[in-house]
Chain A
């Protein structure tokens, strides 16, 4: 099994506060890696260090050997890192199909094309992705009128548009009903296996984490305090203490 992403000794502080303090981990190919931790643990900062929104003070991030530190989010995306957001971000004035086409157009460097019309471009490819996330029937509807769960699926299809090797998913199931959550994560897990993609996701819902993650890392106050298989992490005394101490439910 090969390693897709290696984060090594990441550090980032804001005005003296160490938001991320010497964090190192790896993401294996075809794995779902969950990053958990109480609010303010540094998850979002860590995410932003990986996707290029922020530049680490120290440390390195490599994607299959390629250094990512110093690259823009757009460059990182072009290297094969897809993203979904905690609050879905789609193009509201476009249909489901067109949303996916945008990712395909950008992936194929067609952003400036002014000859062909969009309705003839990458339709089959986009439909195939929508088929995979189960959104074919709704492909002609506007994103602005979609149910939230469906939007999440669209976002997933969009994120797959550049044939990523790694997906960064920020709280993929936030705001969804419990049943929808499970469906979405099962779908994600299937796709990951099928296409040998890796996923790094943050999540508050422990059911989702322990139900689907292959591996879990735990952040607290900027530091990595535990890492391992879900069951090991669940039984880790320090982790339990943090979650109990912070009042979060940490039901097994």
Chain B
């Protein structure tokens, strides 16, 4: 009995830490409608700064807490810099740009932290005055755990008071419910957003700073914590502080007791709970349904046109050139080009659902990964021939998209993005932790193509032709009624519904269609590398896809092709030239793209050559 009580308290202590970061994320989302992926980076900064303060000043008990508050304040100021320098410029941009931009921030903060504090993991000092343990029912509980258990509700109470007893708090609550209304009330919106971002960043910093006596600071914290924070925000309901607290307690206790029952399945449990909550209450436990999704403030793209002669010639020339490449180039060029073919297919399939479909999926990697793992598992366990596995992969991915898509298309905008991300994370956690079946982190090895494709050149032609055919099918589909009707549902759901179009069903079918091609891309990838790993299902894979589409231009048809090629070549070049800070270069490119160059490469070129009337 005593044991379970202690385990309960232990769960509460970790819940407090999770609550702090999730609360900040939730508040920021509530007011600005930006899902700040860089929140984990702010948490990490809080940990490093407080580590630095505490170890250089070696304060007493009061000083320790002052140092923690000071660190959180500094992080809050960093939040202000991010808000005023970056996010303020993109509040009107589509959700995709905002999410991608915060991803760029992650990359940059990570490199800055590494530059300042170095690469070694820092073990946090114990908190002065709370460095021992107390006995409860014959079990030891660290004193600091009790401090954490108190801290969570304390912060919750303070936020509640601020929100309910100050004018500023009232405005924040009003803005969380209806952003337009606040604009109408004549409130200084810029100040409100900046101050909210400060509070959110402060809380993330506080969470990071307060946890150093339980862990420390390391460079993996940002991404490790963000997934959990995301789960909590989603479960609690975006914008709901109390919801975040409730969800943090649920997840904290789930982890504490989950490891007693399923020591290897804790992540799956967490994401499974999220899935169940999303199925029953898509808005989270204490969230509110979003009545109307934000009106897209962007101009529609120009009407579809068949490729004109110049573009067709360019394409023909490129294809001819690609057919000739193996005659004069090294194997490595082929390796890179095969990667490009795969990612082109992946990006074009993603574009199908996010461009014409108007649904920004943040979890397209799930279908790529299902195709990849479906292939690898078939070959590994059943000895399926390559040819059959390649046919099965898109079917497996389509089944996944069928299930996940059925739930996802019920939502729109950022909620759709998050639900797709949640499903992708569920897929990832199953792949990652179901060791006995998927081999987890170790991946599945030795999945090589059939003998007739074992040479690099043969596989090159195979991947090229498959990719070309599929891209052609995806492209041509856009010109068919299926493609047009899908686009109609995006352009004006109201009008589409009024001419008898079942918009949700159309989106669902488009989602499945796109998922199937992503699955095929995953399958081609597996045979080209001979192996598959959970990374193929992880968040960065989805982000890469979005980056490719964005880089090429989301409102164009050739954009994803050009974007995938450019992005693959760029990251390969950056990462193979021993540029240790290549992440921040990539991050800077992302930010530049989002702010200065939102139409992408192809969009930019098109705008140069088309008369202004036809521009989007």
Contacts and interface: CB of A to CB of B under 8 A. Distances in A.
A–B contact at 8 Å CB threshold (below): yes
Contact of B494 (A85, A111, A116): A85
B303 interface: yes
Interface residues of A, number: 38
B614 interface: yes
B299 interface: yes
B420 to A, nearest CB: 23
Contacts of B487: 91, 93-94
B23 interface: no
Contacts of A111: 481-482, 485, 501-502, 506
A78 B209 CA distance: 61
Contact of A74 (B476, B500, B614, B616): B500
A113 interface: yes
Contacts of B301: 93
B300 A92 contact: yes
A73 B497 contact: yes
A135 B450 CA distance: 58
A235 interface: no
Interface in B375-434: none
A161 interface: yes
A95 B614 CA distance: 11
Contact of A142 (B303, B495, B498): B303
Interface in B328-372: none
A82 B497 CA distance: 11
B302 A77 contact: no
Interface in A144-200: 144-145, 158, 161-162
B480 A145 contact: no
A105 B300 contact: no
A237 interface: no
Contact of B481 (A83, A93, A105, A145): A105
Interface in A57-114: 73-74, 77-78, 82-83, 85, 89-95, 98, 101-103, 105-107, 110-114
B526 interface: no
B299 to A, nearest CB: 6
A80 to B, nearest CB: 11
A101 to B, nearest CB: 8
B477 interface: yes
B391 to A, nearest CB: 19
Contact of B499 (A93, A103, A115): A103
A73 B614 CA distance: 34
A117 B509 CA distance: 18
A110 to B, nearest CB: 5
B488 A91 contact: yes
Contact of B500 (A91, A106, A119, A144): A106
Contacts of A102: 484-485, 488, 496, 499, 501
Interface string A117-160: 11101000000000000000000001011000000000000100
Interface in B269-310: 299-304
Given A91-B492, A93-B303, A105 B484 contact: yes
Given A90-B495, A94-B487, A112-B509, A74 B477 contact: no
Interface in B460-514: 476-477, 479-485, 487-488, 491-492, 494-502, 506, 509
B613 interface: yes
Contacts of A161: 499
Contact of B492 (A92, A98, A103, A105): A92
B182 to A, nearest CB: 24
Contacts of B304: 93-94
A105 to B, nearest CB: 5
A94 B303 contact: yes
A94 B303 CA distance: 5
A91 to B, nearest CB: 4
Nearest to B509: A112
Given A98-B303, A161-B499, A117 B480 contact: yes
Contact of B302 (A89, A117, A142): A142
A114 B480 contact: yes
Contacts of B495: 85, 89-91, 158
Nearest to B482: A114
Contacts of B481: 105, 110-114, 116, 118, 121
Contacts of B482: 111-114
Contacts of A116: 480-481
Nearest to A144: B300
A102 B302 CA distance: 17
B491 A74 contact: no
Identify the interface centre among B304, B492, B495: most chain A CB within 10 Å of its CB: B495
Contacts of B502: 74, 111
A77 B485 contact: no
B328 to A, nearest CB: 38
Contact of A91 (B483, B491, B616): B491
Contacts of A74: 497, 500-502
A15 to B, nearest CB: 16
16 contacts: A78-B500, A89-B492, A90-B492, A91-B496, A93-B487, A93-B491, A94-B487, A102-B484, A102-B485, A102-B499, A105-B485, A107-B500, A111-B502, A114-B477, A118-B481, A142-B300
**Interchain residue pairs A-B with the least CB separation, the first 7:** A92-B300, A89-B495, A91-B491, A93-B300, A113-B481, A117-B479, A77-B500
Interface of A: 73-74, 77-78, 82-83, 85, 89-95, 98, 101-103, 105-107, 110-119, 121, 142, 144-145, 158, 161-162
